[in-house]
């Protein structure tokens, strides 16, 4: 399983993303909106809930998760500024580093609102 590396986004078979400009910003092509990366941390208790929600895309059925300042579980989210593109991946802390526990999941338009609600956003 590969890790989301912001600088390598276009290699993840996400044709709607391109790299542009001197600083190689990532752009969501359909709307020309810049993409940013944000990390959310959760308690170990939320690991199963979070991975199952992402893998099975059951965001509306999942309880609202509580984001913490740090934790053993990390959710990396790539989101376009206009909110029309979201991709996510779950990591779990293992000795000395976070390791990917899910594949990179690109959400469909109808899933984005329930995903944001799950995160309390």
- For the segment 65-71, the average pLDDT, to the nearest whole number, is 88
Distance (Å, rounded) from C-alpha 87 to C-alpha 78? 5
Domain count, the chain: 1
Residue 59 lies in a domain: yes
pLDDT value, residue 25: 75
pLDDT value, residue 104: 83
Question: Given a cut of 70, is residue 96 above it in pLDDT?
Answer: yes
Distance (Å, rounded) from C-alpha 19 to C-alpha 66? 33
Question: Given a cut of 90, is residue 121 above it in pLDDT?
Answer: no
Residue 58 lies in a domain: yes
CA distances from 8 to 4, 5, 20, 23 (A): 8, 5, 13, 13
Residue 109 lies in a domain: yes
Confidence band of 22 (pLDDT split at 50, 70, 90): low
The rounded mean pLDDT for the chain is 81
Residue 57 lies in a domain: yes
- For the segment 68-91, the average pLDDT, to the nearest whole number, is 91
Confidence band of 1 (pLDDT split at 50, 70, 90): very low
Residue 3 lies in a domain: no
Domain housing 44: 37-118
pLDDT value, residue 14: 64
Residue 17 lies in a domain: no
Question: Given a cut of 90, is residue 17 above it in pLDDT?
Answer: no
Question: Given a cut of 90, is residue 30 above it in pLDDT?
Answer: no
pLDDT value, residue 82: 93
């Amino acid at each position: 399983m590969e890790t989301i590396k912001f600088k390598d986004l276009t290699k993840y078979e996400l044709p709607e993303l391109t790299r542009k400009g001197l600083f190689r910003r990532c752009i969501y092509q359909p709307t020309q909106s810049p993409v940013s990366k944000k990390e959310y941390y959760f308690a170990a208790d939320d690991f199963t809930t979070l991975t199952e929600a992402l893998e099975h895309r059951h965001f509306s059925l999942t309880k609202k998760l509580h984001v913490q300042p740090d934790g053993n579980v990390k959710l990396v989210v790539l989101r376009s500024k206009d909110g029309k593109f979201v991709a996510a991946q779950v990591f779990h802390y293992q000795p000395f580093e976070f390791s990917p526990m899910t594949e990179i999941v690109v959400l469909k338009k109808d899933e984005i609102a329930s995903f944001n609600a799950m995160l309390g956003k």
